[in-house]
Amino acid sequence: MSEYSTITTRTTHRVTTIELNRPEALNALNRQLMEEVLSAARAAETDEDVGAVLLTGSAKAFAAGADITEMAAHSSTSVRQADIFSGWDQLAQLRIPIVAAVRGYALGGGCELAMIADVIIAGESAQFGQPEITLGIIPGIGGTQRLARTVGKATAMDMVLTGRRITAAEAETMGLVSRVVADDDVVTTATDVAEQIAHHPGQAVRLGKEAVLAAFNTPLEQGLHYERRLFETLFDTEDQAEGMAAFTQKRRAEFRHR
């Protein structure tokens, strides 16, 4: 278990689970929670015995938004100087794969945090939305950018400018989430996905994540070239040699995850 106060953590089967733990605030994202999530995820990334992170909340709320009480006192100058969301930017830059298990509310910052994850497993009760417009602001943790790249301009404009929520079923249709399962199965399914990722060769997993993310930031020709270079790089790894040897010898591969 963890030494943190706004999250709990545990590591089993090469997966570090980070559970948001601010039940009195529906897991609203304050600065302390951001710093603790980032610290736990960084520790997981540097641990050779961990291959994936599972991020989850409660049955009622993955995260209901950013902590408005904490933000309300800021001015334009102070919120810029404090750079209050910088930790989430750093989380998005980590190389370790992140799987989000989402039940209940994933609104505002909660929706943005889910979109930082690489795979989202949603329960049937999950609700996604960017309601910041109702507070006189707009998303600030990448909501306008990641949402538009995922669901397209029309839907992103609808959600950002009206603040409307979408269901898990709608989110799956739009490509916002990877899978939708029964609420009772969300954490189990997400754990299975995270463990499957974690038991694949670590370098291949990290470069696979890197290559997919590059597709959002590069023209197709440049992205194809980048993918090819990463593909070629993996032919110098022990796990590539083991994986192909195991295939030709018709046995199970014993990866070293290095």
How far is 9 from 1, CA to CA, in rounded Å? 5
CB 7 within 8 A of CB 44: no
202-248: CATH topology: Lyase 2-enoyl-coa Hydratase; Chain  A, domain 2 (1.10.12)
Q: What is the dihedral of CA 89, 92, 94, 95, to 10 degrees?
A: -150
Residues involved in catalysis: 66, 109, 112, 132
Indicate whether 257 pLDDT > 80: no
CA 114 to chain centre: 5
Which segments of the chain does DSSP mark as H helices, in order?
31-45, 68-71, 76-82, 86-92, 109-116, 143-151, 153-162, 168-174, 186-198, 202-214, 220-233, 238-248
Indicate whether 180 pLDDT > 80: yes
How far is 63 from 34, CA to CA, in rounded Å? 12
Query: What is the average per-residue pLDDT within 23-39?
Result: 97
Residue 256: pLDDT band with limits 50, 70, 90: confident
SS3 content of the chain, % helix, strand, coil (to 5): 50, 15, 30
CB 210 within 8 A of CB 230: yes
Please measure the distance between the N-terminal and C-terminal CA atoms of the chain and give it in whole angstroms: 26
Q: Which segments of the chain belong to CATH 1.10.12.10?
A: 202-248
Q: Name the percent of the chain lying above pLDDT 70.
A: 99
pLDDT digits (tens, 9 = 90+) for 138-152: 999 999 999 999 999
7-198: CATH topology: 2-enoyl-CoA Hydratase; Chain A, domain 1 (3.90.226)
Q: Which segments of the chain belong to CATH 3.90.226.10?
A: 7-198
Residue 188: pLDDT band with limits 50, 70, 90: very high
pLDDT at residue 2, as a whole number: 58
Indicate whether 1 pLDDT > 70: no
Q: Which residue in this structure is represented by tokens 């994936």?
A: 52
